Amino acid sequence: MASDLSPNPASDATTVDRVQLERRTTKVLAEDDLPEIDHRAQIDDLIVGAGWAPFHRAAHQAHLDRDDLPSILPWRFYMLDAGACRRLRAFLLERGDVTKIPKMLATADAMIQVTWLPNPSTEPVSGLFKADLANMEHIAAASAAVQNLLLAATARGIANYWSSGGALRSPELFEKLGIPASEILLGSIFFFPQTADRDDVEVRHTKLRDQRGPIEHWARWVDVDG
């Protein structure tokens, strides 16, 4: 079996390992809009790779009866280019949003609303969705797609950030972006331009990143008595 793990000349394992390590949360904030540069083609490339994430179950039929986005995949991606980000920022500012979200929509080259598709429940549920194995696996699959996306962005030198969404989770925003209310936001994924040469932006990372602890604190080999 060891041969299964030996280096494959057709794949660059070192590159994959490095990109995993390099991926980090990066937020780029500004008070004023940055120029709108069209990166749709590049973002489309990232999306293709994200779509190869594993998924265990088809989305419930209730999510498939639509003309657009009829896939059985348990996630949906709604992509906003730089122009759409700036217009969404203006919309949020008009509503008095003073959070970081409008400041990031001022700089983002793109933002993707990633949703997952919960199985509808026949019984009343407390909380966002019925907490069963099928829904857990839908979330897991959608999360794998997001990680694919972040790694693909990192490999291309695109700074990225997985946000819980804040105001972008609201029913009003879903309606504005044409996202069905039956879907649940897994994250708002921001892609930012290189801004090293600008002094009118603020770049932030997170404190949790360096608090993972050593591998021995979260992984161990398991013995089985034979």
Ligand X SMILES: Cc1cc2nc3c(=O)[nH]c(=O)nc-3n(C[C@H](O)[C@H](O)[C@H](O)COP(=O)(O)O)c2cc1C
Residues that bind ligand X in the complex, under the rule CB under 6 A: 24-25, 162-164, 187, 205-206, 208-209
- Name the residue with tokens 């500004």: 30
| Residue 69 or 144 with smaller CB distance to ligand X | 144
Whether the CA torsion 93, 200, 112, 100 is positive or negative: it is negative
Nearer to ligand X, 20 or 71 (CB): 20
Query: Distance (Å, rounded) from C-alpha 137 to C-alpha 60?
Result: 13
What is the closest distance, in whole angstroms, from the C-beta atom of residue 226 to ligand X in the complex? Answer: 38
Q: Which is nearer to ligand X, 18 or 205 (CB)?
A: 205
> Whose Cβ is closer to ligand X: residue 98's or residue 208's?
208
Rounded Cα distance, 225 and 54, in Å:
32
Least distance CB 185 / ligand X (angstroms): 10
Instruction: Please state the closest distance from residue 30 (CB atom) to ligand X, in A.
Output: 17
- In the complex, least distance from residue 1 CB atom to ligand X, rounded to whole angstroms: 32
What lies within 8 Å, CB to CB, of 98 at 6+ separation is: none
Separation of alpha carbons 93 and 105, rounded Å: 11
Q: Minimum distance between the CB of residue 139 and ligand X, rounded to whole angstroms?
A: 9
Helices (H), 24-132: 40-50, 82-94, 100-105
Mark residue 111 as left, alpha or beta (left: phi above 0; alpha: psi -120 to 50; beta: remaining).
beta
User: Quick one: 20 or 61, whose CB is closer to ligand X?
Assistant: 20
The tokens for 196 are: 């090293």
